[in-house]
Structure formats: C-alpha cells, structure tokens
Structure 1
Amino acid sequence: MDTGHSPSKRQLTSMAKIALTEKEHEICSLLNNVADHIHTTTNQQLTLRIAGGWVRDKLLGLASHDIDIAVDHMSGYTLAHHVTTYMQTHSLATSSVGKINSNPERSKHLETATTKVLGHLVDFVHLRSETYKEDSRIPLVEFGTPEEDARRRDITINALFYNLQTREVEDFTGRGLKDLQEGVVRTPMDAEQTFRDDPLRVLRVLRFASRFGYEIDGETARAMHRVEVRQDLDKKISRERVGVEVEKMAAGERPLLAVQLILRFNLFECVFRAPPRDMWTNDVAVDAAAAESVSRCMLRVLDGALLHAHIPSQYDVTLRDRRALILASYVFPFHAAVAADRKRQAPVALLVVRDGLKLPTNDADTVAAVHTLAPRITEMAALCCAGPVERNTLGHLVRDAGARWVIATLFAAAVELHNGKSADQVVATFSAFMGAVKDAELEDAYKMKHIVNGRDVATLLKCRTGPGIKPVLDRVMDWQLAHPRGTHDECREFIVKEIAPHMPL
C-alpha cells in the first residue's frame, strides 16, 4: 500500500534518554518533592512515572503537552489532591481537581483525575491490572505493577514509562523501544484478547499506524480481521469514542492512510455508522471505496495547491476547514442518500457525522453543505468556462453557499478529480468560477444586506410585514446583485414600478 510517507524511525536504546524542557523539569521536580513529602509524613513509598504518549513523542523528538502521571499504591485522584495541597502550602497557584469516572459498560475502565501543576494540565491515574471473568467483558480493575499496567495498554509504543526518580525510560513490554525504532504497531499482549477487552483499541491501532506511517504487526492485523472483534467495536463502544478517533485521524498527518486502513480491515460500516436502511427514503448504492478515492483527490487539491492561487485573499483555509473537508471525503459514499430524521428528511452523510460519530452539529452541517453545493458549483463553473454568467446568477449561488462557498469549491474540485477529470481540466474549470466571482466582486455576497428592508417594503406596498414579504425581498436582492452600483432610491423606484402593480389588492 502506497502511503506517501516512510515510517519515522529513530536509533533508540533501552537506556534512551529524554531531554526535558525547563517547564517539564520543574513539573517533574515538584512531583518528586510531593512523593518525598508523602513518604516523610505517611511512610508510604511512591514511584511516579509519566506514561504513554508523552514518552513516545519525546523519544521521537516531538513536542508533547499531554502529561499522564501513573502512580503505584495510590489512586490518581488521591495523588492529585496531595499535589494541590503541597502546592498550596508552598504558595503556588492551584486549580480544582477534576475526576473522570470509569465507565466499564463503555469499555472505559480507568478513573482519571486532572489538575494544573505549575499552570500545566496533568492527568493522574493509578497503575492497574485487569482480570476478566469468562462470562463478562467488564474487568475487575485493581492496583497493579508497572509490568501489569504496560501489558494492559493498547500498543507497545504507548506502553513506555518515564521514571521521575531515575529519569530513565522503562520498557516493561520489552518491545516498545524496538517497535518505535522499527516503525511497528503491535499490542503488548495477545492481540485478540486486547481488542476484546477494549474494542476501541482497534481504531487506536489504525490511528497511530496512520499518524506515524508505521506497519501493523501481523498478529495484530489478523486479530483485527476477526468478525468478533468488529462486532465488539460496533456494539460495545460509544459513538462518541469512535468519533474522537475519527476526528483525530482526519486531523492527522496521514488521513488518506487512515481511511485506507479502515477499508483494509472492513471497518467502514462499523466506523461510519449510517441509519438503518429502512429509514432511507431513496435507494442508492454505497461504494465504500469512494471514500479512499475522494480523500486522495481532496488531498491533491489541498496539498497540491491546485486552486490556492485563485482563493480570495480574505479567505484562509483553516485547519478546521481541512478537517471538515477530509470528513466530507470519508463519508462521500453516502452523498446521494437521504433518510428520515425527526419527521423530515436529511442527508445520510449528515446523520453519519452527527449521530454515527457524535461530532459537533457544525461539522455535520458543513459536510452536508459541501456535498450539496459541489454539483451546483461544478455546473456553475462549467458555465463560467463557456462564457460570461450574469452577476445575479453568480451572486445567488455564493449567497446560498454562505461562508462555505470557498471550501465547497475545493470539495467540488476533488469530486471532479475523483470522476476522472485531469488536474489541468479541474484547475481551468474552477479557476474560471473563482475568477468570475472575484471579477464581479461577489466574494462576500453572502454578507449583503437588503438595500431596502422589510419594513420599508411594507410601507411602499401598503401591506403588513411578515413571511409574505420574503418573495419581494428576494426580488430586491436579485435587483441588487444585478445592479451593484444601484442606490436606495433606485431600488425603491424598482419596487414601486415593477413589483407594486402586480401585488394583490
């Protein structure tokens, strides 16, 4: 599979050293002082470790701000309170301690406490072991050793620890550093058991493999292909947790590889859960493979800068826009489908994002909007290539699209690439559209206010304000778009001469 990226590899050793920033050094020293204070006052010996992603990223030379402290012989919540008390006695700023409770029914097995340490948000958890009864997938979580804790984590490169006392990296799986060096994603324990314990780990494997461009270990891959694992992911994991992983994939460095892996492991229907077919109001085929093709084309438009020179200078394609366009590409297979939704109809793609992934309504609306607008913009772009287009025709499309008209144009370009058009054809077509909008000074047409408002219209037509005024206001806007230099008085004259005579008495 062509990922477009080679795996990130580093020369690492079992005694790999981590270079702390000044702030990290201060945090580690303070936490060690807290542990020493607890030992002095209670005779309880604690070892504090930074766990997981921070260790991995620091070893890869990446900045990391997610500090998770794992403690033995004490709950993370209790330790967090010890930390805030210690800081208060030393006149340091503190914040309240938050607690995120475990939710075993949703495969979230570990209670987490969070508070600020020297202004930096830090999470606290206890080292844990998990045991399962044969008839239950909900574990008994107990205090554990670092070896037990490491084995219960999702993948080996996330199971590394940084010991605050010794200032050394600890690899209790015996594979984490080697896998990090060789670019391999694997589970610390038996892969199938790991996924049955917490099925979300399947998506985390995909996310980290795509994030770093790493290979998935053979045993891990075979377990991910098992039907039972997919069923557990579909049934046991909340849609919110699935949505978090998909959102991170879409915002990651290799979103194309992410969707390729989802398709490779036959997870498309499970990840992008659509309403039941009996709720659909049209019968359309869903080609999951289109998600990969459109994503590839979308990245050609975004990263290849095919149309960047033609984007209006006042518009920036933000990281949020980019993520939304990738999401729209992921769910493109549903672009023509419609389903019943709360006594009305809605695009299935919107429902997948809103309900299937539990992402914000604005994300769902953006996805639905670019899907709907893309064919309209493509049609308009073809007209612009053929010759001049009336200003009000262009203006109405920009107004209908609103602030999303630019990203909808980029998405339309990606869909045309997907449909087989060449890059030169796509650039020629959509640059003509963007150029026409610019030449007509319609880039911000969606912000235009009516030059004659509803109250004035009602006065001129001797009628009441209300919904009945809207068709008149639509004609007012049409006149404005056709007459960019038109004045208030000229518009009033248009209303009196062209509209008033046709109003019912």
Structure 2
Amino acid sequence: MSVATQHVLQVRDKIELSDIERRIFDRLLASLRHFNLQTQVRVAGGWVRDKLLAKDCYDIDIALDNMMGTEFAHKVKEYLVSIGEGKDVRGDGKIKSNPDRSKHLETATMRWLDMQIDFVNLRSEEYIKNSRIPSKQSFGTPEEDACRRDLTINSLFYNIHTDSVEDYTKRGISDLKSGRIVTPLPPKATFLDDPLRVLRAIRFGVRFEFTLDEDLKVAAACDDVKDALAAKVSKERIGKEVDLMISGNQAVKAMTHICDLTLFWNVFSLPPVFKPAISDGCERLCVAYLDTAWNLIHLLKESTFKDKERRFLLFAALFLPLKNTTYQVKKAKMVPVVNYIIVDSLKQKGEDAKMVLDLHRASHKFLSLIPCLASNEDLQPDDVDWMRGLIDDVSIASRVRVLTGFVLREIKDLWRVALLVSILLHPIGINDTEDESSQLHKRRDLFNRVESSIIKLGLDKVWEVKPLINGEDIMNVLQLKEGPLVKEWKEKSMAWQLVDPSRTTEECIDWLREVNSKRVKLE
C-alpha cells in the first residue's frame, strides 16, 4: 500500500467533536449571542488538520473575521463568569506581536477545560518592496488569511457556525490526503514572510511522514531564506522547533532534511569568533551518530530510557563530532563549541548544555572501561588517562569497580545514557560481510553486557552512597589545611570505600592513620 493511499484512508470527511470541544464551541456561540456580536468564529490550522487525521489535539486557535482576539477573549470570559463557569478559566493573557521577529499578530490566550485556546483576527497584509515585514495589516478574508499561513495542510478552517471544514487554498485537503508538504503561496514568499516556516515544514513533513514539495526544497535552501532565518527569527523560536524535532517520532529524518537543505550550520550556528575550520561533512557525521543512537534506542528494552534521558542522549549523539572542539573567549578562556550551540544558537537552558557536556566527558571515561566491563579483563593503570592516581593503591581485581563507581557518581542516574554514547564511539570489530543491522546488534549486545556487569558489581545507585569520612576528618588525621590536597584525599578515601562497600567509618579512619604514619616515616 502506498503512502498516498494510506493518507486517503486516514483523512476523515467530517470532524467529530469530543464532548469538551462541543461544550467550548457552544459557549463561544453563546457569547456571540449574549453580546450581540456580529463576527464569524472559525478554528484555524493544526486542530483542524489533526481532527481530520483522527488525532487528539489540545490546542484550539480561534480566528475572527472582524474582531480583535483580545476583545473577543474578554467577552468570552465575561460570559463564562456570568453563567458561573469563569472560575475554570486560567491564564487570560496576551502575546504581543513582534514584526521584526516575524510574529505579526497579537494573540489572546486562555486555558479552559484542559484546552489551550488562542484568539486572533483573520489578517490581510501589505509589504513594502524588498521587505517581508508588513507595512500595513488589516482584517482579512478567510481566503487572504489562509494564503498567509505556512502550509496548505495548516490553512484549513472549521466553521463552528456551520460545523463544516473550509479549504480556501483549494488544496489543503488534497495535500493532506496525498501526504504532501506545500506552501499556499510560492514557497520563497512564504518563507521570507516568516523563515521559521522552513523548519516547521520539515517538522510537519517528518511528523506525518509527508513528502516535501520540490519547489519548497529549492526555496528553503536558497541564500535569501538562509539570511532571513538568521536575521528575522529569534533563536528561541529556532530552538523550540529543534527541540520538537528531537523529541518527535522522526528525529533522524528531520536532521537529515536540515542537512540536505544545507541548513545545518544556519540552525546550529557556530560562535562568530570561531576560528578552527569545521571539516567537510561534519554535519553528516553528526546525523550518522544520531541515526545510530536512534536505532540503538529502539533495539534496547523500551524501559531503558525515559523521555528526558532520550532527549539528552540524542543531543549528545548529534554533537559527538564536536565534543573536543573549543573556541576562545575573554583572553585565554576556552569554551566548548557544543555549549555555544545549545545555549546561544538554540537558547536552551544552561543545564541542558552542562548535561550534554557531562555525557561527553563520562562517555570518554566509559570507553576505557568497556573492554574490562564487557569481558572481565583486569585493568592496568596505563589503560586510563583520567584516573588521577585514584587506583595506585587499589588491587588489580578492584580497579574496574572503583573507576566505574567514580564515573557513575559523576553522571548519576544518566549513566546508561553516557554508556550508550560511549558505545557509539567504541570500535566493534566490523568485518566486510556485516550489514548495518548486524553492526547495530553488536553494539546493542555490548551495551547489555556492560550494563549487566555494572549491576552485578552492585554499582547502580552508587551515587547515593555517602562518604564514610569528610574533609574535616581528613584534615584532622593527616594534619592538613583546607586545599587541593584535602580534595585529593577525599577521592582516595572514596576509592578505598568503593573497593568494599561493607567497610566502616572506623576502618576508614584507621586506614587514613596508617597512610599518614607511612607518610611521616618517608619524610
């Protein structure tokens, strides 16, 4: 069965309202009658599309033909209060327009009956030459408003007066049935109006597994649209679209489209003072790591990663080729490029950047431990470059447990995520006869062996283990002042503790005294 045929079968001829949706629309119509308002009320965009595809939608965008959204929203709330239902309304707010950032409409918003409801007027816009910022906005007809929307599948209206779907572009329903991503106007004009629509086209295309129109792809890749994406669209809006893609059901396809349309470094922009050249094909390598991570996630048990963990994993995988790349700021300070991309280019939280960088660091440490954890080999001090002398006095048999414990104490409950990132980097001995599926199964099996080994060592939740002694104990026993040496001995005492979890505080103090006695004799 073809993709197009599948969509024909899935698209409904008529919208079926839930009880809550019917109640909301009844109250909107009652508000019109109560205040004798002469305006047509339509639902626009995504809700109409999703209802025709028999999908649930909890965001309702109301479009009014001759009335501002804020004015009507106030009337609706006033009516609800008058009939004793106003207490259920939350967040009666307003989102201001920002034409410089391609947000042209002021929107009123409220939450009612677990539905997010936005109110806005239909619009008609006029532009001055060489600019896509409207020089004039006025109330528009449904046809004018539909043509100013991002995609034909998002330009449909549902008229709550007539209980009917309205397709003013004359192709919204047919594109929905045939599974095509098309703009109502010529794509370049649509994208220059709001360049974020390029990313929205990609996101909706992969979400519904629709085909991007060829003219749309040409326009999306042109320099004018790329320049407009940088100049007109806030990083917050770009970051939100990327986050929705990464959290969606087709993250790899979305990033592949971004690569194919040569938009990767426009979306994941590098620091303006960045000097080291990014190697050709780096973006393809980024997507290749993402692809492997995505496939491994689906090969592993469904319960292995929660949604938050999966998000961090995919971002960490996507930026793996850049994990050692830094740039200079303020004299000699070197900052990871990945931090810049997440915080400055995508405007995500600093905590997100820190977590991705922590995963990269932890995966590097896991790499040196994987052979021992997977096959119970002994670990030699020369096998790890990050031990900082932690295992000098630890028996060979306990070294893997101690160092693995330190890694897990650093990364805590995201250790499985860090482990999988390291599995992406670990060589698995591929031969010429193996296909991609066989290689993925090898990596899956390696992950399972290492995970099982860590659990058998009793290290899951090891980050919750409290140190037997603190810095004050160390200073008292070793006659030290607070400083780097105390921190070093805290780590050594934790290594001693990790060797055998049954050890006690008294034994740890005795061990410290013994160490100190030997140190004094050497002096």
TM over 0.5: yes
Distance 2:230 2:429 in 1: 32
Distance 1:341 1:90 in 2: 60
Amino acid at match of 1:35: L
Is 1:395 the counterpart of 2:405? The answer is: yes
Structure 1 pair 275/436, CA: closer, same or farther in 2 (3 Å)? same
Give the CA deviation at 1:96. 4.6
Structure 1 pair 428/23, CA: closer, same or farther in 2 (3 Å)? closer
Is 1:449 the counterpart of 2:466? The answer is: yes
SS in 2 for 1:105: helix
Q: Which residue does the alignment assign to 1:55?
A: 48
The 5 Å alignment of 1:116-265 reads 116-139=111-134, 140-265=136-261
Give the CA deviation at 1:150. 0.5
Q: Which residue does the alignment assign to 2:372?
A: 383
- Indicate conservation of the 8 Å contact 1:224/1:265, yes or no: yes
Out of 350, 353, 378, the residue aligned to residue 361 of structure 1 is 350
- Indicate conservation of the 8 Å contact 2:373/2:454, yes or no: no
Q: Per-residue displacement from partner, 1:372-426 (whole Å, max 9, x unpaired)?
A: 3223212210233351452212212222333321101122223448996823432
SS in 2 for 1:433: helix
Q: Which residue does the alignment assign to 2:417?
A: 407
Q: Which residue does the alignment assign to 1:78?
A: 71
Identity of aligned residues (%): 33
- Indicate conservation of the 8 Å contact 1:293/1:418, yes or no: no
Q: Which residue does the alignment assign to 2:57?
A: 64
- Indicate conservation of the 8 Å contact 2:309/2:414, yes or no: no
Give the CA deviation at 1:336. 2.7
- Indicate conservation of the 8 Å contact 1:129/1:149, yes or no: yes
- Indicate conservation of the 8 Å contact 2:44/2:157, yes or no: yes
Give the CA deviation at 1:462. 4.0
Q: Which residue does the alignment assign to 1:312?
A: none
Distance 1:156 1:105 in 2: 24
Distance 1:353 1:38 in 2: 49
Give the CA deviation at 1:443. 1.4
Out of 17, 22, 32, the residue aligned to residue 20 of structure 1 is 17
Amino acid at match of 2:292: C
Between stretches 493-502 and 85-94, larger displacement belongs to: 493-502
The 5 Å alignment of 1:451-470 reads 451-465=468-482, 468-470=485-487
Distance 2:362 2:274 in 1: 24
Amino acid at match of 2:465: M
Q: Which residue does the alignment assign to 2:93?
A: 98
- Indicate conservation of the 8 Å contact 2:100/2:133, yes or no: yes
Give the CA deviation at 1:274. 1.3
Between stretches 154-163 and 405-414, larger displacement belongs to: 405-414
Gaps of 5+ in 2: 380-398, 432-438
Distance 2:516 2:414 in 1: 32
Amino acid at match of 1:329: A
Amino acid at match of 1:9: H
Distance 2:475 2:211 in 1: 68
Structure 1 pair 144/419, CA: closer, same or farther in 2 (3 Å)? farther
Gaps of 5+ in 1: 310-314
CA RMSD of aligned residues (A): 2.4
> How high is the TM-score relative to the length of structure 2?
0.87
> How high is the TM-score relative to the length of structure 1?
0.90
Q: Per-residue displacement from partner, 1:402-456 (whole Å, max 9, x unpaired)?
A: 3321101122223448996823432443333222211211112222221112223
Q: Which residue does the alignment assign to 2:334?
A: 345
Give the CA deviation at 1:500. 5.5
Q: Which residue does the alignment assign to 1:490?
A: 507
Structure 1 pair 487/189, CA: closer, same or farther in 2 (3 Å)? same
SS in 1 for 2:188: helix
Which structure has more relative contact order (CA 8 Å, sep 6+)? It is 1
SS in 1 for 2:170: coil
Distance 2:469 2:31 in 1: 69
Q: Which residue does the alignment assign to 1:440?
A: 457
Distance 1:366 1:154 in 2: 34
Q: Per-residue displacement from partner, 1:112-154 (whole Å, max 9, x unpaired)?
A: 1111334533111111111101043211222111111100000
Structure 1 pair 502/283, CA: closer, same or farther in 2 (3 Å)? farther
Distance 2:126 2:192 in 1: 13
Distance 2:41 2:322 in 1: 48
SS in 2 for 1:199: coil
